[in-house]
Amino acid sequence: MSLPPRGTEAASATNDRFAESLRGFGSIGILAFLLIWAGNSIVVPLGAVLVLVWAWQSRTPWREIGFVRPKSWVLTLLIGLAFGCVFKLAMKAVVMPLLGAPEINHAFQYLVGNTAALPSILYLVIVGAGFGEEVFFRGYLFERFGTLFGSSAPAKMVTVFITTVWFGLEHYSLQGMAGVQQATIVGLVFGTIFALTGRLWMLIVAHAAFDLTAVAIIYWDLEREVAHLLFK
């Protein structure tokens, strides 16, 4: 049996060391983390794309960032759509009024009846929020903090807490305190589900459905009506 060329062995060893450094928390691992974080902040869904590149180059199994093949794609889609829509309606009609939030979301009032704005906002909520934010905040950050803190129940609780606060604060610049409140609750619910299941696909669909429901309510100028369904 012939042996592989020495150059091939050296290249393989180099690739192994690079993959290991990406998974670690040394200078290369931290730099990768910062680049992915920056990508997530600059443009969507760049952060998610960089997460996929990181997983490939670091040889991280896809399931470790939540990409587990569902037993039924149809059932996963239906559950995600239903959960996301009901969750948004509950937030708008019950939770946010109890928190004293404004009845309308001023940051997105430009969407009211604005058909021309729909393509860009649909891209943002489906690709940017649904896919991009879930891959980064749930898939990637849970893997990173899980590697750092471990997989025990207390460690997962810490991870849920950190990602929840982080996700909430990310929404302050555009939507103010009401946006932080809503995103924090969403982050807590989605983070808890991911901590319990380790599965991302349903959450991606649910996140997109949540935001699509919000867009529909704003586009058809129904925010006040929904906000006052239970509280006049």
Question: Which tokens belong to 220?
Answer: 């058809």
Residues in the chain: 232
Quick count: other Cβ atoms within 10 Å of Cβ 214? 25
Is the residue at 58 inside a domain?
no
pLDDT tens track, the chain, 232 positions:
555 555 566 666 677 899 999 999 999 999 999 999 999 888 878 999 999 999 999 999 999 999 999 999 999 999 999 999 999 999 999 999 999 999 999 999 999 999 999 999 999 999 999 999 999 999 999 999 999 999 999 999 999 999 999 999 999 998 999 999 999 999 999 999 999 999 999 999 999 999 999 999 999 999 999 999 988 7
**Side chain identity at residue 81, one-letter code:** L
Does residue 19 form part of some domain? no
User: Domain tally for the chain?
Assistant: 1
Which long-range contacts (C-beta less than 8 Å, at least 24 apart) are formed by 116-122?
Answer: 118/215, 118/219, 121/215, 122/212, 122/215
pTM of the model: 0.93
The reply to whether 22 falls in a domain is: no
Q: Residue 109 CB: number of other CB atoms within 10 A?
A: 12
Residue 201, domain member (yes or no): yes
The whole-angstrom separation of Cα 24 and Cα 16 is 12
The answer to whether residue 210 sits within a structural domain is yes
Asked, as a colleague might, if the bond just before 4 is cis with ω within 30 of 0, I would say no
- Tell me, yes or no, whether 179 lies in a domain: yes
Alpha-carbon distance values, 138 to 27, 88, 161, 222 (Å): 23, 19, 12, 31
Question: Whose CA is closest to 171, among 223, 133, 121?
Answer: 133
216 is in which domain, residue-wise?
69-227
Find the DSSP H helices in the chain. Answer: 6-23, 27-42, 46-57, 73-90, 96-98, 118-123, 141-149, 153-169, 172-197, 201-219, 223-227
Residue 232 maps to a domain: no
- Sign of the Cα torsion 127, 124, 22, 66 reads negative
